[in-house]
Structure 1
Amino acid sequence: MTESSPTIPAKKNISICWFPPTANTFKLNIDGAFLQGSQTCSISGVLRDFVGNWVVGFCKKIYAYSHVMTELEALHTGLEFVLDNHITSLEVEINSIEVIDLFHYAHPNYQPIVESCRSLLRRLGNPVVHHNFRQGNRLADFLAKEGS
């Protein structure tokens, strides 16, 4: 009898970059920077057109008790920002899988802000919310870190 070693999956190289939205659509990239041990955080958002041109952005300090709440606040602020600027054709990109999961699996600590984000998304025509890694969202990541 011979022992077999466990199979280790091969590493995959993936390309991480910013992809433009579909034609005549805007893309909102949002991010948050949460400082462990401090409730002072920073959130940011960048709105670009389908060519990739910067349209407008925001960065501000907030108070939050977790990195998930920071990302949710960034999403909420970004969606309000888009509504205030009368943008209708939109895609949203965020680097937090946890936030995307909260739209499918309720968590009582985050339910009020998740419901508010859902309401804003409905008012915007239910745009697609994508995940992208931090490296594919560099500008929003940079702004969030600069603001913290």
Structure 2
Amino acid sequence: MVLLSTDGAVARDSGHAASRGVVRDREGNWIMGFGRYLGVCSPFEVKAWSILDGILLLLNKGFRRVIIQTDSLEVVQALNDLGIKESGVTVLRRAQRTMRLEGQWRILHIPREHNLVADRLAKLSLNCKSILQIFDEAPTEI
């Protein structure tokens, strides 16, 4: 069982967005981090992207039992809603479908103050226009 903490950031002046996530073991030890620059994106979409990226990376690394944490109650509720087929947010539908078909996933809402590492990583990604970055070690900036 691993813990995936996700977040996203949207620059107020430009609307540019970045998602990030951190994967830890049960003891809180860093397994990996990741981030993606998304361009112009809504806060809801960026949080959904961070979850989907985390899910796909973890599946690729062989992890099948994951607790996902995000400070977006709206995204948690949407992913737990089985009627999401009508949603216009493709990334949300893809994340939900992947969670349903692959592995054992549990998604939890956490307060923003308990998600500070993922929050800091997301803000760092706004300055890096990389499609997807993977961090085997925690960046010194966090």
Q: Same fold (TM over 0.5)?
A: yes
Q: Which has the larger radius of gyration?
A: 1
Number of positions where the alignment pairs a residue of Structure 1 with one of Structure 2:
123
Q: Hey, what does 1:26 align to over in structure 2?
A: 2
TM-score, length basis structure 2: 0.78
1:21-52 alpha-carbon deviations (Å, 9 max, x no partner): xxxx1000010001234242111110000011
Q: Hey, what does 1:120 align to over in structure 2?
A: 98
Q: Hey, what does 2:121 align to over in structure 1?
A: 143
Structure 1 CA distance for aligned equivalents of residues 91 and 105 of structure 2:
18
80-89 or 34-43, which moves further after superposition? 34-43
- Give 1:115's aligned amino acid: R
Structure 1 CA distance for aligned equivalents of residues 103 and 40 of structure 2:
28
Structure 1 CA distance for aligned equivalents of residues 87 and 22 of structure 2:
29
Q: Hey, what does 1:5 align to over in structure 2?
A: none
User: Which consecutive aligned stretches of 4+ in structure 1 deviate over 6 angstroms post-superposition?
Assistant: none
Q: Hey, what does 1:96 align to over in structure 2?
A: 72
Kept after mapping to 2: 8 A contact 1:33/1:70: yes
Structure 1 unaligned residues grouped into runs of 5+:
1-24
Q: What root-mean-square deviation, in Å, do the aligned CA atoms of Structure 1 and Structure 2 show?
A: 1.7
Residue 71 of structure 1 and its aligned partner are, at CA, apart by: 0.6
Map 1:1-148 to 2 at 5 A. 25-103=1-79, 104=81, 106=84, 108-110=87-89, 112-148=90-126
Structure 1 CA distance for aligned equivalents of residues 66 and 47 of structure 2:
19
Bigger relative CO (Cα 8 Å, ≥ 6 apart): 2
Structure 1 CA distance for aligned equivalents of residues 65 and 104 of structure 2:
10
Kept after mapping to 1: 8 A contact 2:65/2:104: no
Structure 2 unaligned residues grouped into runs of 5+:
127-142
